[in-house]
Amino acid sequence: MTLAELISQTHHLLIDFDGPICSVFAGYPAAAIADELREIIRRHCGGMLPPDLAELHGDPLRLLVDVAQLGDDELTRKVADACRDAEATAVNSAAATPGADEVLRTASVSGRRVTVVSNNATAAIGDYLQDHELTPHVAAIAARFDGMNPRLLKPHPFLLQRAIDGADEQRSRAVFIGDSVTDIAAGIAAGIPTIGYANKLGKHQKLADAGATVVIDSMRVLAAELGSTTARPAQ
């Protein structure tokens, strides 16, 4: 299927936040946030990291999921709250993805529904959209919320299902745009066609191999297609 064919049948545009819309951690590195979260974990656990968290990496969301696997609800809440607050700070220095604002505006103007679907915190996404005057073009946000079980983050289809159910839209008339293999896996699990956004060298093949319906290298290409393709009516 070509991008034009996919977009022509799309009435609901689901789009990931970190990557397709902006680089969330451009000014406040993810690795720094992960280190801060590990310090919270150490204090909670008497100065030691649990063995299951001994591997050091720079992904705060992965760390949040790993913490949830421990079954300590109080620790999970502490880490989730700290991660949410750090993301709220990070979006203040996030770098906008070239063409992303055009995608949101063009999709909205063309009559398509736009939902941001992300593992990032709902409040941080809302702040970014408001600061960049994009809120009028986004109908809904289906993202991490306070009290949500982190194990339901993508690649689990929970957030995508939440977005579709909230819009009462057929999956065949929606498309999900993401920049990671986990995004593609979530889309496939939810039964939604996917567009892989290859924003880094080597990603194009990885996203294709993961099963993306179409892979693009520029959000401006998507914006142009949204502006030139009329959505087909429901059968």
Flag whether pLDDT at 221 surpasses 90.
yes
Is residue 200 domain-shared with residue 129, that is, in the same domain? yes
Final residue in a domain of this structure, among 73, 92, 111: 92
Confidence at residue 129, expressed as pLDDT on a 0 to 100 scale: 98
Across 18-32, average pLDDT = 98
Identify the CATH number of the domain in which residue 143 sits: 3.40.50.1000
Start-to-end C-alpha separation, the chain: 19
pLDDT band at 235 (very low <50, low <70, confident <90, very high): very low
Beta strand pairing call for 140-144 and 174-178:
unpaired
Is residue 19 domain-shared with residue 59, that is, in the same domain? no
Is residue 101 domain-shared with residue 85, that is, in the same domain? no
Confidence at residue 166, expressed as pLDDT on a 0 to 100 scale: 75
Across 72-87, average pLDDT = 98
Beta strand pairing call for 95-96 and 22-23:
antiparallel
Is residue 83 domain-shared with residue 192, that is, in the same domain? no
Confidence at residue 78, expressed as pLDDT on a 0 to 100 scale: 98
Task: Please tell me whether residue 121 adopts helix, strand or coil conformation.
Answer: strand
Confidence at residue 31, expressed as pLDDT on a 0 to 100 scale: 96
**Which DSSP state fits 213?**
S
191, 204 in Cβ contact below 8 A? no
- Token pair for residue 71? 């079954």
Domain assignment of residue 117, yes or no: yes
Confidence at residue 184, expressed as pLDDT on a 0 to 100 scale: 98
Domain assignment of residue 13, yes or no: yes
> Using CA atoms, how far apart are residues 109 and 122, in angstroms rounded to an integer?
24
Is residue 105 domain-shared with residue 148, that is, in the same domain? yes
Confidence at residue 232, expressed as pLDDT on a 0 to 100 scale: 57
Name the least confident of 74-78, 116-120, 152-156, 163-167: 163-167
Is residue 65 domain-shared with residue 108, that is, in the same domain? no
37, 64 in Cβ contact below 8 A? yes
Across 44-72, average pLDDT = 92
Can you give the residue range of the structural domain that contains 191? Answer: 3-23+96-228
- Output the average pLDDT for the chain: 94
Domain assignment of residue 224, yes or no: yes
Q: Could you give the number of structural domains in the chain?
A: 2
